Amino acid sequence: HGIAITDHDRGAAYARLVDAGLANLDGTPVDDFLVIPGVEVSTNQGHVLLIGGSFDTPSLRGGIDAADLANFAHQRGYLVVAAHPYDRFRSGVGHAVLDSVDFDAIEACNSKTFDRHANRLAADHAARIGLPALGGSDAHEACTVGRSHTLVVSEVLSLQSVLTAVRRGRATPVAGAHTRTELWRYWIRGWLTRPWLLELSARGARRMVGNVRNAVCPTAVSTMPLRLCACEHAQSNRPIRRGNGQIAPGAAWRITRDQPIENGVTSNSADLLTTV
């Protein structure tokens, strides 16, 4: 009867469904199918699900604290759920955060979790402290949606009714599992996109740019700072920036260097590095 959209730190998917007429901002279903807004926030302590609201997670200096996020969500009536809390490979919050943060529910059955013992620990913890246990497919592609899900007993098919039913414990996780091939593909994909690996790649790119600069003009490197700017869209004529100021996906980026100012005008050299 419905689905919760909980992308990582992004709310654009729900907005697109609203624009397409497939979801209602007032929390009512479309053609007897309810789309529930949500977001999976990457806090300093691990991943936390917010159910009931959809937005882009702001980039804050020092990161986001899980307890502060819970207070923010509760002021707005959202559900705060610990996502795969004992999954050590996928940023689970762990035992200490479960005891210190005011969660409304715990994801006790995540079908994408490698370690099934992690799901058992989450279910045991939810039962021990009396929190509702939820199930989630954590699907990153259509074929895995609903592998594990939550059965909610609600009088009315609406956002507020579902959230109220979960808070009252009228929710039951339904177990499911991805195939071994899917799990390995997810794990490899996730490993290759870890932030620290991306940072190493960025450092390598900066070193490469530095080498090019030294070769082109070794005596003027210190007076020619690099800058990152967006150029034309790589695949279509769509605008580079959306209405909210964000860069559209697929936009081409280039690193340029500013030449020394001559007669009050700064000129840009040729591109040093172009990525999409």
Q: Regarding beta strands 251-257 and 226-233, do their DSSP bridges make them parallel or antiparallel, or are they unpaired? A: antiparallel
Rounded to whole angstroms, how far apart are CA atoms 268 and 183? 46
- Predicted confidence (pLDDT) at residue 170 exceeds the cutoff of 90: yes
- Predicted confidence (pLDDT) at residue 130 exceeds the cutoff of 50: yes
Over residues 152-175, the mean pLDDT reads 95
Contact 124, 98 (CB under 8 A): no
Give the distance from CA 252 to its chain's centroid.
Answer: 22
Contact 116, 86 (CB under 8 A): no
Over residues 158-175, the mean pLDDT reads 95
The predicted-structure confidence for 184-229, as pLDDT tens digits, reads as follows 887 777 666 666 566 666 666 666 555 544 444 443 333 333 344 4
The phi-psi region of residue 46 (left if phi > 0; otherwise alpha if psi is between -120 and 50; otherwise beta) is: left
The residue with greater pLDDT, 18 or 180, is 18
**pLDDT band at residue 256 under the 50/70/90 scheme:** very low
The predicted-structure confidence for 67-125, as pLDDT tens digits, reads as follows 999 999 999 999 999 999 998 778 899 888 999 999 999 999 998 887 788 999 999 99
129 three-state secondary structure: helix
pTM: 0.67
Q: Whose structure tokens read 């996730």?
A: 190
92 three-state secondary structure: coil
| pLDDT at residue 243 in the model | 46
- Predicted confidence (pLDDT) at residue 180 exceeds the cutoff of 90: no
